[in-house]
Structure 1
Amino acid sequence: MKGLVVFLEQRSFGVCTYLGERFGVSVARIRLFFIYSSFLAVGFPVIFYLLAGIVLDVRNYVKRTHNSLFDF
């Protein structure tokens, strides 16, 4: 089971981790919130999660390219 958790954490966008660090909340609580709210809101949090993941990936990409452009 531990291997599955590690695999999913490495392949996911890191949205829950980012939100947990940003707001000082446990990552496990945020994940449970997304799971339970997905059942209640018929998948809307999944759409939010994917959009937030895309935004975080673009943000990290811009940071990497911005730093590499000015590292002469």
Structure 2
Amino acid sequence: MPFSLYREGNHPSLAGSYAAALVVYACLSKGDVDAVRWVPRGLGGEHAALLRARVGQSLRARHMAGAAA
């Protein structure tokens, strides 16, 4: 990724917080993170789109792995 999900090694960056929020949203609502259009101030739209795509891919892969088990 072109940006770090953590700053100082322990605390999430804005991108890391956004990625975590997308995971929580998807798990609680069963919604598709690709449909989320809100972007936090300070995070570019392209970076937010990349994060949504990566989080969505990870969640779908996890879901498919669980279905295959």
TM-score (norm 1): 0.43
More helix per residue: 1
Larger Rg: 1
TM-score (norm 2): 0.44
